[in-house]
Amino acid sequence: MSLTSILLALQPGQNNQPLLTAGAALAARFGAHVEGIALAHPLRVSPSDVYLASDLAVEDRSLRMEQMQTAEAAFRQAMQGQAPSIAWHADLTSADVATEIDAHARASDFIMVASEGQQSPGEAALSFRIGDLIMQAGRPVLVVPPVGAETRLQHGLIAWKDSAPARRALADSLPLLRKCRQVTITEIVPESELAEARRRLRLIAGWLARHGIESSQHPAAAVGDDAGRLQQIATEQKADLLIAGAYAHSRMQEWIFGGVTRTLLSRPRLCTLLSH
């Protein structure tokens, strides 16, 4: 299993530089093809307001096109000399943006996005929700934080939970883990369950070893909320890559995420690969 193709989903009108820096580093490390994509919704005008809003619609379209051109220029500059080949796609679309990105993801190994918490006051609204993309893309999504976005692959931390999303995330992450100098598996459980967690983590370490990846196990007692505990472990371990399952259920066609997943989407402290 290798990593040959990366899809970078840029947000028009926002600072995409941390995402571009991380994407360029991975492209250079793996010799991977990179496709950049930037999509936005045009201003929606109701029939009753068509005459009053026509000028606004034209102005909005011009602004969106300018934002996408800026994103393209930044993408091409960042990938120069880093990726062996690149492609670019940008458009105004009335369709769901996450669904449009999903269509491009069919030919990529994984998707890279900036965390939802990177938006600054005065910047354009987010063109898509990362959670929607994770739930429907069928590809792992690598979420890049606003600072410290280097993908050095020095230390990969696996946030284990005995569930289907965690298993998928672990399998999806194998190309990245093979490049890591150090790999640690952690599971956060009540103190009374630490012995059982150690047994599970030894089994996972054995599976990784059969894939040529050596790892250490770090079962951890739950203290406070799991999201904060996981980030504390990542800091203590000096990890620069986190692997985790994305946990959610649908309520009235909207995905409701657990606390850890919400934190990793909006406030990740290190590059985080999520799978569902």
Query: In the 8-state DSSP scheme, what is residue 218?
Result: E
pLDDT of residue 116: 79
Of the candidates 259, 257, 274, 195, the one whose C-alpha atom is nearest the C-alpha of residue 224 is 259
H/E run at residue 106: none
Ordered by start, the domain boundaries in the chain are 5-144, 155-275
Query: Tell me: the pLDDT tens digits for 47-68?
Result: 555 555 567 778 888 999 999 9
- Give the least confident one: 85-89, 94-98, 182-186, 256-260: 256-260
What mean pLDDT value characterizes the chain?
89
* 5-144 fold: Rossmann fold (3.40.50)
Q: Confidence class of residue 145 from pLDDT cuts 50, 70 and 90?
A: very high
User: Is residue 218 within 8 Å of 202, Cβ to Cβ?
Assistant: no
What residue has token string 């880093």? 82
**In this model, does residue 121 exceed pLDDT 70?**
no
Bridge partner residues of 39 (DSSP): 91
Higher pLDDT pick, 81 / 246: 81
Quote the DSSP letter at residue 12.
Answer: T
**Residue 55's pLDDT is what?**
75
The percentage of residues in the chain with a pLDDT greater than 70, rounded to a whole number, is 88
**pLDDT of 122 higher than 50:** no
DSSP letters, 111-122, are EEEE-GGGPPTT
Residue 24 confidence (pLDDT) above 80: yes
pLDDT at 49: 57
Residue that wins the pLDDT comparison between 96 and 79: 79
Q: How far apart are CA 50 and CA 251, in angstroms?
A: 35
Summarize the confidence of residues 117-137 as an average pLDDT.
Answer: 70
Q: What digits encode the pLDDT tens for the residues 190-203?
A: 999 999 999 999 99
CA 123 to chain centre: 20
- H or E, element range at 262: helix 259-266
Average pLDDT over residues 225-234: 93
User: Global pTM?
Assistant: 0.90
What's the whole-number mean pLDDT along residues 235-243?
95
| Fold match, 5-144 / 155-275 | yes
- Helices 130-137 and 259-266 cross at an angle (nearest 10°) of 110
- End-to-end CA separation in angstroms for the chain: 19
Burial class (CB in 10 A: 0-12, 13-18, 19+), 275: buried
Task: Return the CATH number of the domain spanning residue range 155-275.
Answer: 3.40.50.620
Answer whether 50's CB lies under 8 Å from 117's CB.
Answer: no
pLDDT at 141: 96
Q: Is the pLDDT of residue 98 over 70?
A: yes
Cα–Cα distance measured from residue 98 to residue 224, given in angstroms and rounded to the nearest whole number: 34
pLDDT at 114: 92
Residue 164 to residue 275: CA distance in whole angstroms = 9
